[in-house]
Amino acid sequence: MRVLVLGMCRTRTSAKPREPQALWNTRVRQAPRQERCRLGQSKLFVRKRTVEAYPDGKVILTTRNYQDWEVSMQDSIWCQCTWNLFRLARYLDITEMTPLMRFIQSIFRVHNNNTYGGTKSRAAFKAHFSTIDAKFMSWEPLCEFLSQQISKERFPRTMEEKEMRGYLKNAWWSLAKYCAGKLVLPLIVVLTAWVMYTNADDLRAARDDFILRPIAKFLKS
């Protein structure tokens, strides 16, 4: 492998505007298939072994201020691990999102023992970058890799976590409706049947007093 992209999620890897991103993808596709690899979140498992396995590989490592990163993660990816409804869905396996949520939980169990903020999370974040030769994000390494002139504009920033949180909120409501349809409504039906069965005599008496007798009286009048 000649190029290893080992930056963590939510470190502005999606901050490139459309034109430079297309240029970047074109450059990567020019490399033979056996010389390029995309690890995604699984890089948290194998970052050290990957660097050791390909000592001549060019490492692309994006970084970010920890506090900004933590807020971004709590507003997006970590929601799938911390929101109670998602936890319930993960345990009961009642949605097609369950494999993804379990996978994310497994990743962060390895990364920071499922600590979603605070001192332990900060230490794990720093450990990821200390394992690799971290550099500050700027145009220079990217433009050198692309054989392009260094841009005079500031390096772009995006707030993709807002879009992701919106998606997760929609997923939460969809899951809530699913649970209501599959769990709450059947439970209501069962409870209603049980109440009617245990109070059958009283219900029959109420039916006779308030429905049948008034109707019979009306018909005879």
Structural domain for 169, as ranges: 3-220
Return the closest-CA partner of residue 41 out of 4, 83, 3, 6: 6
- Helix, strand, coil shares of the chain, percent, nearest 5, are 65, 5, 30
What's the token pair of residue 200?
A: 């059958």
How does pLDDT run across 34-81, given as a tens digit for each residue?
555 555 555 555 566 776 777 776 677 777 888 888 988 888 888 888
- Whole-number percent of the chain with pLDDT over 70: 68
State the total domains in the chain.
1
In three-state form (DSSP H/G/I as H, E/B as E, the rest C), the secondary structure along 150-164 is CCCCCCCCCCHHHHH
* pLDDT over 80 (residue 211): yes
Cα–Cα distance measured from residue 212 to residue 220, given in angstroms and rounded to the nearest whole number: 12
